[in-house]
Amino acid sequence: MLAVVREHIVEEVKSVNFVAIQADKTTDVSTQTQLMLVLRYIDNNHKMQERFFEFLPISESTSTSISIASVLLERLIGIFADDDEKVKLIAHLTMEPLNLIMQQATSRIKKVYIFFSDLSGIATFFSRSPKRTSILDQTVALRLPRTSSTWWNFNSRVVNTVYENRDDLIQCFEAIRTGSLGSFDQPTVREASGNVRMLHDEDFIFFLWLFHKIMPHVDTLYQKLQKKDIDAVFIKRALDSFTNSVQAIRDSSQQQLQVATGAKRPRTALREEEKQRMSEEVYDTILDHTKARFSFTGHLLS
């Protein structure tokens, strides 16, 4: 009976233009975690339908938000596997795993997590005050994009902007810090002094350089997955290109590190072997999670 009802819902959903998908994680009385899937749509009789579709089992290893997104995407593509238009629409949900992959790379390593927190502070510093923004316009002649925990391309833009304009930003913060008495309040001067120290910090410069190397490839993948006419073959080629590029950077990272961090190292800074280990961990996290989170497209290839 359940199979008959589910088949009826699938046929109904395939005949409509738009479907709203609701997914929620719940735990039953036996403490088994499941993903509840509900479909909402307007049927051919112009009536709103809200259909419970199924429970998807979730193990402990797939209970994170990243894994749940992949489980959901795989199931949805399984439902609409013979509907090219809906598969193309669902393919755009791959942006969610992409964002989560990059968040995973930044959140699991403490120093990387701190780096992005500090980086967001630079962007936030100017977003709160027209007076601060005026100094930024005069010294750097551009605006810093605000970071976002939701869309990785915003973080990408901040990394690239700070990397390419670090000297000008130091000059901007120095102008705020050493300006005429009373030009800025004490909290502003204090934050500007902290940002100057941070932009001179070797560890901060290292992570800025590291993610500046990765960002162009992330942006390229992001742009490819934003296209309308994509399918599983296109996604696989885009992912292969991305992983090959990241792997190439990883393979040459030791030589690049020596060039990028050739200055004398302060005693409190990371040692060269620590930088090498952290950079490889970032690369490996991105590569491993990319392969795992986009694996749901494999069964569509013939």
What is the chain's percent helix, strand, coil content, to nearest 5? Answer: 65, 10, 25
Q: What is the mean pLDDT of each run of 10 residues along the chain (302 residues)?
A: 79 79 71 78 86 75 51 62 52 56 73 88 86 88 68 73 94 88 84 95 92 88 75 81 91 67 56 86 85 61 44
pLDDT at 188: 92
| CB of 116 closer than 8 Å to CB of 102 | no
What is the token pair recorded at 273? 């072997």
CA–CA separation, 6 vs 156, rounded Å? 42
Distance between CA 24 and CA 221 in Å, rounded? 28
pTM summary value? 0.66
Q: Which long-range contacts (CB under 8 A, 24 or more apart) does 236-241 make?
A: 236/297, 236/298, 236/301, 239/290, 239/294
Q: How far is CA 34 from the centre of its chain?
A: 25
| Terminal alpha carbon distance of the chain | 32
Residue 85: its pLDDT value, please?
Answer: 52
In this prediction, residue 10 carries a pLDDT of 80
